[in-house]
Amino acid sequence: MRQLVWPALACALLAGCSADRDCTAIGTPVGLSVHVNGPLAGRATAVSMEVCWDGACKPAHVELMPSTRPGKESCSGDTCSVTAVPDGGKHAFGDVPGLPDRPVRVRLALLDAEGAPVLDRMLDLTPRLRYPNGPACGAGGPNAVLTVEGDGLVTSS
């Protein structure tokens, strides 16, 4: 009996070391996400964004939308629901085909209803590769998040 234990244990250990990993077809959007907070969100109705690298610039097509947060939860029996309520902010995503995972320069402008700039900033940032299924499944593409605070401060992550 003892002679069967060691081979069985070795087989069990080797089975746990299998290199096969299921990777889904989930993708990562390549581009820049913009979150606008506070008073600027109330004045901004559009975004103009241009991304430059290797001596060339590409416009990012962006549509600014109201941001929401979870509202009050209501339950009836075993069914519950939550409504989305506006949080006073706005958000957008600009596709930037070919965006590299190295330093780029971004011109970000928030525009009012007449097309006049509410905010106009140039910033340098480095888009990061994202791994939606974990590092073993490979990168899904680079992107970055720009956050515009109510006082006009712009940060990237």
**pLDDT at position 157 over 90:** yes
Domain ranges within the chain, ordered by starting residue: 25-66+87-156
Confidence (pTM): 0.79
**pLDDT at position 13 over 90:** no
Chain segment 26-82, per-residue pLDDT in tens = 888 999 999 999 899 999 999 999 999 999 999 998 999 999 999 999 999 999 999
Domain 25-66+87-156 bears CATH identifier 2.60.40: yes
Calculate what percentage of the chain has a pLDDT beyond 70: 87
- Sign of the four-CA dihedral 48, 94, 90, 63: positive
Mean of all residue pLDDT scores within the chain: 89
Banded pLDDT at 3 (limits 50, 70, 90) = low
**pLDDT at position 152 over 60:** yes
What integer pLDDT is reported at residue 24 of this predicted model? 87
Q: Which residues of 59-80 are buried (b: 16+ CB within 10 A; e: fewer)?
A: ebebebeebeeeeeeeeeeeee
Structure letter (DSSP) for residue 137:
G
User: Exposed (0-12), middle (13-18) or buried (19+): which is 26, by Cβ within 10 Å?
Assistant: exposed
Residue 81 contacts residue 74 (beta carbons within 8 Å): yes
Coil/strand/helix, residue 112: coil
What integer pLDDT is reported at residue 25 of this predicted model? 83
